[in-house]
Structure 1
Amino acid sequence: MGEKSGESLGTVLVAGAANLAIALAKLIAGLIGGSAAMLSEAAHSAADTVTELLLLVAVRRSGKPADRRHPFGHGKAGFVWALMAAVATLVGGAGFSITHGLHEVGHGEELADLTPSYVVLAVAFVLEGTSLLKGLAQLRREAARYGIPPRRLVRVTSDTALKAVLFEDGAALIGLLVAAGGLLGSQLTGSALWDGVASVVIGLLLLVVAVTLIRTNLSLLIGQAAPESVQNGIRAVLLDQPEVAGVVELLTMVIGPGAVLVAAKIDFQDEATARGVEKAADEVERRLREQFPQVRQVFLDPTPTCRR
C-alpha cells in the first residue's frame, strides 16, 4: 500500500507542477491575444492545479493507518477528496470555459497577436504529454502486477488519483489541439466564432471528464464491490480448500485505493472439526492475501446449508 501510494503521489506531483506552470503561461498568452480558447485553457489548467492539490490530500489521507476509531483504515477518505477534485474540475474548468466561450460566440472581439498562444500551446503539449507518459507508465506497471490489460485496469481501478491524472492529462492534450484549431480557424477566417466554439468544446470535454470521475468516486464511497474477475478468483480459492463444501454467500467491498474487504459465509464439510475449520480459515486468508495483494481484511462465517 505504501509503495503504491508513493508512486501515485509522484505521478500527482509531476502533473500538478506541470499544470501550474501551464496555467500561468496560458493566462498571459490569452490576455495578449484576446483569445477565449486560451483563457479557457488557462482556466482548465488552473482547475487541474487545484485538482492535483486535492488529489495530494487524497493520497496522503488514504494512506493513514487504521486506528481505534477507523479500524478499516482511512482509504475512503481518498475517495472523498478525489470527489472534491472532480467537482473543482466541473465548476472551475467546465463552467468557465462554456460560459466564456458562449460569450465569445455571441460578442466576438477581434483577436490580437496569437504567436505567444501558439508557442504556449506547443510547450504545454510537451509538458502535459510528459505527465501523461508518467501516469501511463504507472498504469502499465500496475496492470502487469495484476495480470490484466492496462485499458481494463483503468475501468476497474480504485486508485482514483491515478485515474484522475490519466483522464485529465488526456483531456488536456485534446483540449490543446482544439484550442489550436480554434485559433487557426479564427486567424484564417477573421472571425472570433471559431475561437469561441473551441472554448465551448473544451468546456464540454472537461464536463465529460468531471462527471465520469464524480460517478466513479460516488460508487466507491457508497461501497463498490471488487471487480467480478477478482470475486471469481476469491470464490475459486475458497472452494479449492478441502474443508470447504460450498460458498453460501460472498461479499466484497473496496475500502480504499487498492484495498478490498472480503466477507463470506462458508459451508464447511460436516466431518471438519473446530480446529480443522480454524486451520482452514487461516489457510484461506493466507492464500487470498498471496494471490490478491489488494485483499486487506478477510471475514469467514461458518454457515451450514441443508444437504441430503
Structure 2
Amino acid sequence: MEEKSGDSLATVLVAGAANLTIALAKLVAGLIGGSAAMLSEAAHSAADTVTELLLLVSVRRSGKPPDERHPFGYGKAGFFWAMMAAVATLVGGAGFSVTHGVHEISHGEELGNLTPSYVVLAVSFVIEGVSLSKALSQLRAAAGRHRIRPLRLVRITSDTALKAVLFEDAAALVGLVIAAIGLLGSQWSGSALWDGAASVAIGLLLLVVALILIQSNLSLLIGQAAPRQVETGIRAVLLAQPEVEEVVELLTMMIGPGSIMVAAKIDFCDEAGAAGVEIACDEVDRRLRDRFPGVNLVFLDPTPTRRS
C-alpha cells in the first residue's frame, strides 16, 4: 500500500516533540510524589522519544534513492530501524516499568504530594490525544485513497512509522489512565500496592505493543508479500492484457514502506510474436504502475506452461 513519506515524517515529529515534553514533566512529578507509576510513565515517554528518533531515521533512510550497490533502494532500512524502535520500547519502557513496579510492591514507600502528578497526567492526556489525532487523520486519509477501512489498513500497511505512532500513542493514553487509577487507589487505601501494580500493568502494556511491532517489522524485513487484495488486482491486470494467456506464477514483495516489487512468469499467446510480447510487457508495466502507485519494480518472464 502506498503512503506518503512526508505525512509519516510530520506524524513522527509531532509525536516525538510531545513525548519529550511529557517525559520531563512526568519525571519531575514522579520524583515529587514518589510514585512508581509516574516514574514508569516517564520511562514510557522517554522510550517513546527514543522510538520517534529511530522512526525519524527509518523515514529518512527508506527514502534514499537506489544506487549501484543498492539497486532495489533502501526501503528495507526503514523496516530495520522501525524494528529497532520497537526494541527500544521493549527494553527501555517495558523493562523499567515492570522491574520498578515489582520493587515498589515489595518495598512500598509512602507517597508524597500527588497534585503535580494529576496535573501532568491530565495535560499529558491532552497532548497524547493531539498526537494520536494527527496519526488517525493520516490513517483515514490513506484508507480513503485505498478505499478500505482504517482498521484493515493498520493491519496490512507497510508504513511502519505510522503504525508505530498509532500503537504507541494509543498505548500512552491507556497507560495514563492506568497510572491515574494506581495513584487514586494508593491515595485512598494508603497502600503502595496500587501504585506498584499500575507500574507493572504499564510495563506489560508496553511489552504487548513492542512485540506486535517487532513481529510486524520482522515479517516485512524478511520479505513479506503485498496484501492479498493487491496481489489479486495485479493478477487481474496481467490477465486483462490481450496477449497474456495465463499467469504461470506471481510473486510480490514489499521492498520498502509503500513500495512493491512484482515478478511474474507469463504464458503469452503464440500469435503475439517477439515484438508483440515486448509491447505487451511494456503495457502491463505501465498499467500496473497506474493502477497501483506503490508498484515500483516490475519483472515479467515469458514462460510457457507445461500444457504448451
Using structure 1 for the length normalisation, give the TM-score: 0.98
What letter is aligned with 1:102? V
Residue 61 of structure 1 and its aligned partner are, at CA, apart by: 0.4
Q: Contact (CA 8 Å) 2:2, 2:257: kept in 1 or not?
A: no
User: Do structure 1's residue 93 and structure 2's residue 93 form an aligned pair?
Assistant: yes
1:213 maps to which residue? 213
1:135 maps to which residue? 135
User: Do structure 1's residue 297 and structure 2's residue 297 form an aligned pair?
Assistant: yes
User: Do structure 1's residue 74 and structure 2's residue 74 form an aligned pair?
Assistant: yes
Question: For the residues of structure 1 that align with 2:256 and 2:135, how far apart are their CA atoms?
Answer: 19
What letter is aligned with 2:46? A
What letter is aligned with 2:291? Q
Residue 306 of structure 1 and its aligned partner are, at CA, apart by: 3.2
Query: Runs of at least 4 residues of structure 1 off by over 4 A?
Result: none
Q: Contact (CA 8 Å) 2:3, 2:257: kept in 1 or not?
A: no
2:166 maps to which residue? 166
Matched position secondary structure for 1:65: coil
What letter is aligned with 2:4? K
2:270 maps to which residue? 270
Residue 307 of structure 1 and its aligned partner are, at CA, apart by: 3.1
Residue 270 of structure 1 and its aligned partner are, at CA, apart by: 1.4
1:247 maps to which residue? 247
Give the superposed CA RMSD.
1.2
Residue 2 of structure 1 and its aligned partner are, at CA, apart by: 11
Question: For the residues of structure 2 that align with 1:23 and 1:74, how far apart are their CA atoms?
Answer: 32
Question: For the residues of structure 2 that align with 1:38 and 1:212, how far apart are their CA atoms?
Answer: 24
Question: For the residues of structure 2 that align with 1:171 and 1:306, how far apart are their CA atoms?
Answer: 53
Matched position secondary structure for 1:272: helix
Identity among equivalent positions (%) equals 78
Question: For the residues of structure 1 that align with 2:238 and 2:65, how far apart are their CA atoms?
Answer: 28
Question: For the residues of structure 1 that align with 2:108 and 2:143, how far apart are their CA atoms?
Answer: 47
2:10 maps to which residue? 10
What letter is aligned with 2:190? G
User: Do structure 1's residue 283 and structure 2's residue 283 form an aligned pair?
Assistant: yes
User: Do structure 1's residue 122 and structure 2's residue 91 form an aligned pair?
Assistant: no
What letter is aligned with 2:258? G
What letter is aligned with 1:291? R
What letter is aligned with 1:111? L
- Farther-moved stretch of structure 1 (31-40 vs 266-275): 266-275
What letter is aligned with 2:189? T
1:45 maps to which residue? 45
Matched position secondary structure for 2:272: coil
1:306 maps to which residue? 306
Question: For the residues of structure 2 that align with 1:135 and 1:37, how far apart are their CA atoms?
Answer: 26
What letter is aligned with 1:290? D
**Cα deviations across residues 245-266 of structure 1 (Å, max 9, x unaligned)?**
0000000000000000000000
What letter is aligned with 1:83? M
1:54 maps to which residue? 54
In structure 2, runs of 5+ residues without a counterpart are none
Residue 3 of structure 1 and its aligned partner are, at CA, apart by: 8.0
Q: Contact (CA 8 Å) 1:2, 1:63: kept in 2 or not?
A: no
Question: For the residues of structure 2 that align with 1:123 and 1:153, how far apart are their CA atoms?
Answer: 30
**Cα deviations across residues 82-102 of structure 1 (Å, max 9, x unaligned)?**
111110000000000000001
Question: For the residues of structure 2 that align with 1:281 and 1:71, how far apart are their CA atoms?
Answer: 21
Question: For the residues of structure 1 that align with 2:2 and 2:154, how far apart are their CA atoms?
Answer: 20
Q: Contact (CA 8 Å) 2:2, 2:258: kept in 1 or not?
A: no
Pick closer, same or farther for the CA change 1:230–1:2 going to 2, 3 Å: closer
1:224 maps to which residue? 224
Residue 285 of structure 1 and its aligned partner are, at CA, apart by: 0.8
Pick closer, same or farther for the CA change 1:137–1:228 going to 2, 3 Å: same
Question: For the residues of structure 2 that align with 1:2 and 1:178, how far apart are their CA atoms?
Answer: 36
Q: Contact (CA 8 Å) 2:3, 2:258: kept in 1 or not?
A: no
Using structure 2 for the length normalisation, give the TM-score: 0.98
2:261 maps to which residue? 261
Question: For the residues of structure 2 that align with 1:305 and 1:13, how far apart are their CA atoms?
Answer: 51
**Cα deviations across residues 254-293 of structure 1 (Å, max 9, x unaligned)?**
0000000000000001111111111111111111111111
User: Do structure 1's residue 184 and structure 2's residue 184 form an aligned pair?
Assistant: yes
Question: For the residues of structure 2 that align with 1:253 and 1:3, how far apart are their CA atoms?
Answer: 16
Question: For the residues of structure 2 that align with 1:247 and 1:19, how far apart are their CA atoms?
Answer: 49
**Length, aligned pairs only:** 308
Question: For the residues of structure 2 that align with 1:65 and 1:46, how far apart are their CA atoms?
Answer: 32
User: Do structure 1's residue 144 and structure 2's residue 156 form an aligned pair?
Assistant: no
Question: For the residues of structure 2 that align with 1:147 and 1:279, how far apart are their CA atoms?
Answer: 31
Residue 31 of structure 1 and its aligned partner are, at CA, apart by: 0.3
Matched position secondary structure for 2:271: coil
Q: Contact (CA 8 Å) 1:265, 1:300: kept in 2 or not?
A: yes
Matched position secondary structure for 2:297: strand
